[in-house]
Amino acid sequence: MSKPKVVILGAGYGGLVTAIRLQKQMKASEMDVTLVNKHDYHYITTHLHMPAAGTDHHDNARVAIADLIDERKIHFVKSTVSQILPEEKKVVLGDRDLSYDYLVIGLGSETETFGIPGMNEYAMSIKSINSVRFIRQHIEYMFAKSKMEPKRKEYLTFVVGGAGFTGTEFVGELADRIPVLSRTYDVDPSTVKIINVEASPSALPPGLPEDLVEYGMEVMRRKGVEYKLSTPIKECTPDGVILGNGEFIRAGTVVWSGGIRGNSLLQQAGFDVQRGRVKVDECLRSYQYPDVFITGDCSIVMSPEGTPYPANAQIAVQQGYNVARNLLYAVRGRDLKPFAYDFKGTVASLGRGEAVGLLKVKKVKGKFAALLKKVIDARYLYLIGGIPLIWKKMIFKQKTTA
């Protein structure tokens, strides 16, 4: 009898952890597993704000998949998925089709611009190694350009749309980078503006208590960050942003971190989606196609209270564990185990040596929180690559070229 075919799409947090757990736990004869990813590396999305601002090298935010996957157990295919055909139990890649018995979709998210005119065209967003290399180069280019055209003050104005997790972490790093760039390009740092624009009345990741938000915003303000809260961006233009109150901010750089939606391939495949994401059953399967598991930012998991859990790396990793176990149970003819999210807490970096967060209900801030953030990062590296990966990534880091 032929082995059941499992295809995993995306080597992000959800997909990669599914593959790694399977390779640890399955017998080689049990199933035929293929992992498909656009790149031959896994990128650590939660680290991307640093290379985007230029405070770290992008190589520190990625790991070669070959270093994580045992190719005797998992076939790795570097390719871009162009179509998912759940009725035919098939996926279409650039150069071939793959059929499956079970499919795991972990293709991550796309930028949600909420239909704001010009946002797709003129703003940049932090979403991949390629995008952060581009942002970093652009920032430096603006510094260089400001010296060639000193009257164009807007070259040194940086607008970040969205003050949630990604926006906050990026702004913290950018503020840390300004003194270095100012020295390199002979720029007076007081002429540089960082403006974080947010539609909701509060900055920092949702769910943090008010005193931590205040603390975080104070840290950022001390670094020179200006907040515009309760202020939606109405339009992005080649020269800046128009705010809801009509104000125009002329800026050489606009980075949009205002929201995400699920990968558009799901909607194209006919899945019922809400902002591109699929509501899954208690075992993380599609209601329409029970042989399809969906993880991470592509999925919507409801809490027992009936509200969706926020999309983040923590839930994607836990989903990966659950999906791997349920795939094993499925091929072994056992009942599947429902997913139960264990929220361990959240810590947002505010730049060098500063962070704020909640561990379950315990508040953390300052240097201790920043240290904790490093521990969380190290724990993830340990989970996917053991001590050798921690050693390689945290001890022998690529030097930033700043």
Residue 169 a catalytic site member = yes
- Is residue 345 a contact partner of residue 212, using CB atoms and an 8 Å limit? no
Residue type, position 338, single letter = P
Q: Does 311 bind ligand FAD (CB under 6 A)?
A: yes
Among 15, 54, 276, 385, binds ligand FAD (CB under 6 A): 15
> With respect to ligand FAD, which residue has the nearer C-beta, 60 or 146?
60
Order of strands, sheet of 225-228, starting from the edge strand that comes earlier in the sequence: 225-228, 193-197, 157-161, 253-256
Q: Which of 112, 169, 173, 354 is catalytic?
A: 169
Residues written for the chain:
402
Only one of the segments 6-14, 140-148, 176-184, 363-371 lies at the binding site for ligand FAD (rule: CB under 6 A); that segment is 6-14
Q: Does 167 bind ligand FAD (CB under 6 A)?
A: no
The DSSP secondary-structure symbol of 391 reads: I
> With respect to ligand FAD, which residue has the nearer C-beta, 23 or 45?
45
Helices marked H in 104-128: 119-122
Other CB atoms within 10 A of residue 137 CB:
11
User: In angstroms, what is the minimal distance from the CB of 191 to ligand FAD?
Assistant: 27
- Is residue 268 a contact partner of residue 105, using CB atoms and an 8 Å limit? no
Q: Does 37 bind ligand FAD (CB under 6 A)?
A: yes
> With respect to ligand FAD, which residue has the nearer C-beta, 107 or 330?
107
Q: Does 12 bind ligand FAD (CB under 6 A)?
A: yes
Residue type, position 131, single letter = S
CA distance 210 to 197: 19
Q: Does 325 bind ligand FAD (CB under 6 A)?
A: no
Which 3-state string (H, E, C) describes 106-173?
CCCEEECCCCCCCHHHHCECCCCHHHHHHHHHHHHHHHHHHHHCCCCHHHHEEEEECCCHHHHHHHHH
User: In angstroms, what is the minimal distance from the CB of 375 to ligand FAD?
Assistant: 13
Among 60, 263, 318, 322, binds ligand FAD (CB under 6 A): 263
Q: Does 233 bind ligand FAD (CB under 6 A)?
A: no
Q: Does 208 bind ligand FAD (CB under 6 A)?
A: no
b/e 377-392 (16+ beta carbons within 10 angstroms → b): beebbebbbeeebbee
Q: Does 314 bind ligand FAD (CB under 6 A)?
A: yes
Among 202, 237, 312, 400, binds ligand FAD (CB under 6 A): 312
Among 56, 154, 169, 173, binds ligand FAD (CB under 6 A): 169
CA 139 to chain centre: 21
For residue 44, list its beta bridge partners.
none
Across 132-216, the runs of DSSP E, i.e. the strands, are: 157-161, 193-197
Residue nearest to ligand FAD (CB): 12
Q: Does 258 bind ligand FAD (CB under 6 A)?
A: no
Among 48, 142, 225, 243, binds ligand FAD (CB under 6 A): 48
Which residue do the tokens 């590296």 mark?
Answer: 381
Q: Does 51 bind ligand FAD (CB under 6 A)?
A: no
- Is residue 309 a contact partner of residue 303, using CB atoms and an 8 Å limit? yes
> With respect to ligand FAD, which residue has the nearer C-beta, 135 or 197?
135
Q: Does 202 bind ligand FAD (CB under 6 A)?
A: no
Q: Does 316 bind ligand FAD (CB under 6 A)?
A: yes
User: In angstroms, what is the minimal distance from the CB of 273 to ligand FAD?
Assistant: 14
> With respect to ligand FAD, which residue has the nearer C-beta, 191 or 264?
264
> With respect to ligand FAD, which residue has the nearer C-beta, 30 or 302?
302
Q: Does 45 bind ligand FAD (CB under 6 A)?
A: yes
Closest CA relative to residue 230, chosen from 195, 196, 201, 197: 201
Only one of the segments 42-50, 133-141, 221-229, 380-388 lies at the binding site for ligand FAD (rule: CB under 6 A); that segment is 42-50
Across 24-96, the runs of DSSP E, i.e. the strands, are: 32-37, 41-43, 62-64, 74-78, 81-85, 90-93
Q: Which residues contact 130 (CB under 8 A, 6 or more apart)?
A: none
Which residues, 93 to 122, sit near ligand FAD by CB under 6 A?
106-108
Enumerate helices (H) and strands (E) in the chain, giving the number of each. 9, 24
Number of residues binding to ligand FAD, judged by CB under 6 A:
33
CA distance readout (Å), 75 to 8, 34, 41, 84, 186: 10, 5, 14, 19, 51
Binding site residues, ligand FAD, CB under 6 A: 10-15, 36-39, 45-46, 48-49, 80-81, 106-108, 126, 165-166, 169, 263, 295-298, 311-314, 316
Residues labelled catalytic: 169
